Amino acid sequence: MAQDYRHSNTSVSLLNYHFVWIVRRRRKLLEGTVDDRLKALIYQAVKEIDCEVIALETHYDHVHLFVNTHPRLAPYQVMHKVKGFTAHALRAEYPWLKTKLPSLWTRSYFVSTAGNVSGDTIKRYVEEQKSR
């Protein structure tokens, strides 16, 4: 996974974050067309904030996202964009989600940098979520 460094006028960076977040009440909603649409929306949201998805996988009630960002974005800003954008779009496209849950995602999430393990290890872990 040889990644290029991000260059700007004043910095050079390589920031990779591993995010995990869950569906409200751990409901098993992420399958079929909802799952496919969620993944497309995540790619769209990440692209809008000038980031890059390295790996993405869902498993019934939670999402793993491994993303490359630039230093002007804090992890909470990435999550705010992704969770807000996807929840709004999914609830508009699938009205039954509004009646089933008061909100789509919990407010919490897990985030880790690729500091203690290599990016390849995290990418493999995220991609293997469906086979567990």
Going from N- to C-terminal start, the domains of the chain cover: 6-131
Residue 105 DSSP code: B
User: What is the average pLDDT score of the chain?
Assistant: 91
Is pLDDT of 115 > 60? Answer: no
pLDDT at residue 79, as a whole number: 98
pLDDT at residue 23, as a whole number: 97
Residues of the chain above pLDDT 90, percent: 70
CATH H-level, domain 6-131: superfamily: Transposase IS200-like (3.30.70.1290)
Is 78:16 a contact under the CB 8 Å cutoff?
no
Is 91:97 a contact under the CB 8 Å cutoff?
yes
| Identity of residue 22 | I
Is pLDDT of 73 > 90? Answer: yes
End-to-end alpha carbon distance in the chain: 23
